Amino acid sequence: MESRSLPETLKPVNPVELEQAFTLFSQASAELTNAYQELQQQVERLTAELAVANGELRRQLQEKEALSQRLGLLLEALPAGVLVLDGDGCVAETNPAARLMLGLPLLGEAWEGVAQRRLRPTTTPHEWDLVPVDAATASDRRVSLVISSLDAAGRSIVLLHDVTEAHRMQQQLERHQRLSAMGEMAAGLAHQLRTPLATALLYTANLVKPNLAESDRMRFAEKSLARLRHLERLIQDMLTFVKGESSGQDFVPVSSLLAELQQVMEPQMAQHGLLFSVADRSNGTGVSGSRKALTGALLNLLENAMQACLVGGSVSLLAEDVDGRVLLKVADNGRGIDAALQERLFEPFFTTRTEGTGLGLAIVRGVVQAHGGEVRLTSAPGTGSEFVLALPVAAHADVS
């Protein structure tokens, strides 16, 4: 028989190579199995961690929901008014207290319009009088207002606190303090009243003498009238001090106030031989309050300055607009005030003049405080004095 050879493509398998191939396959399979097991363990671990994280998130969400509910209940029960404004300045949220204070509707309205309609400015910073919904109904409610930014989106929150009772108590306290001061100084005041009254009676008694010359009669009449006028001013100062000065709600332009004071005081200054200057740097600003009270306070300071100067001296009245405040300065180059006396100058019934009532500067301080300002004094003996009334620039209805 004839033998046949195997095709060249079907060569005999080498057992060694086959064993090596199976070994490599087994190793690869084992590595894949280990990798799969590690991957499965990582998945199980991540699943467990995710479950824990989800549980923590659910717990935080539940706490936030509970906190939100508590805050909602608190906001509803809060006696202060709360309004949330969106980025356009419109009312987005309110609580019952805000709706009660400002009336309805509020949602969707521009805060600027709400403020102009329901809030009237006062001389106290951040405090406003509520305008009654019914124009025929008087309202004496007062609120404090604070606006704070909430976020970068431009939202803000408006907080309204009813300070009516606190304002009334402050007014009552000030009145009681004035009455207390009046009671403590009643004896001295009686002496001040009795002296000019006795003098007026003495002069008047001379008028009935039958043989009195006409020139003497005129002289006694003028002296008697001068004493009676002094009594009238003393009593008027007493009444003004006891009842206090209302700040009022008038807009008082500083320029017109200076012009009025210049018209009144310039002739008197000239009569006393003094140089009187007025400088207006108020930049057209004004103050809110009582024109009569402010004029009276400044006239008091100008008269004191006039009496403190000798012939040839000078008195100045200056108004400046500085950082949202109007500074009204009355300065003179007169005799000045000793440091020991400066601390007592604003006390009721304290005076260094025999003809003084001791109420002028106390009234000045009361007027300035009623207008939300303060009064300062700078003086030294022989160099003159300067009184500065610092008053807030008139507030506007725009509180946005």
b or e along 96-106 (b: 16 or more beta carbons within 10 Å of the residue's beta carbon)? Answer: ebbeebbeeeb
Q: Which residues contact 162 (CB under 8 A, 6 or more apart)?
A: 79, 80, 101, 141, 142, 143
- Closest listed residue to residue 346, CA positions, set 359, 330, 337, 328: 359
pLDDT band at 77 (very low <50, low <70, confident <90, very high): low
Q: Which amino acid, residue 76?
A: E
Q: What is the mean pLDDT of residues 121-148?
A: 74
245-400 and 81-162 share a CATH fold: no
Q: Name which residue leads in pLDDT, 101 or 355.
A: 101
CATH code for the domain defined by 165-243: 1.10.287.130
Evaluate if residue 136 carries a pLDDT over 50.
no
Question: What pLDDT shows up at residue 163?
Answer: 84
Q: Where are the domains of the chain?
A: 13-75, 81-162, 165-243, 245-400
Q: Could you tell me the sign of the dihedral formed by the alpha carbons of 174, 179, 183, 185, in that order?
A: positive
Residue whose pair of structure tokens reads 């009088």 in the numeric block: 129
- Average pLDDT, integer, range 245-264: 82
Fold of the CATH domain 81-162:
Beta-Lactamase (3.30.450)
Which class in CATH covers the domain with range 245-400? alpha beta
For the stretch 371-380, pLDDT in tens is 888 889 888 8
Please determine, for residue 57, whether its predicted confidence score (pLDDT) is greater than 80: yes
The fraction of the chain above a pLDDT of 70, given in percent, is: 78
Q: What pLDDT does residue 140 have? A: 75
Residues 133, 112: Cα–Cα separation, whole Å: 17
Average pLDDT of the segment spanning 346-354: 63
> Measured between alpha carbons, how far is 399 from 25 in angstroms, rounded to an integer?
83
24-33, 121-130, 259-268, 317-326: lowest mean pLDDT where?
121-130
* Tens of pLDDT, residues 206-242: 787 888 888 888 888 888 887 787 777 667 666 665 5
What gap in Å lies between CA 332 and CA 337, rounded to an integer? Answer: 11
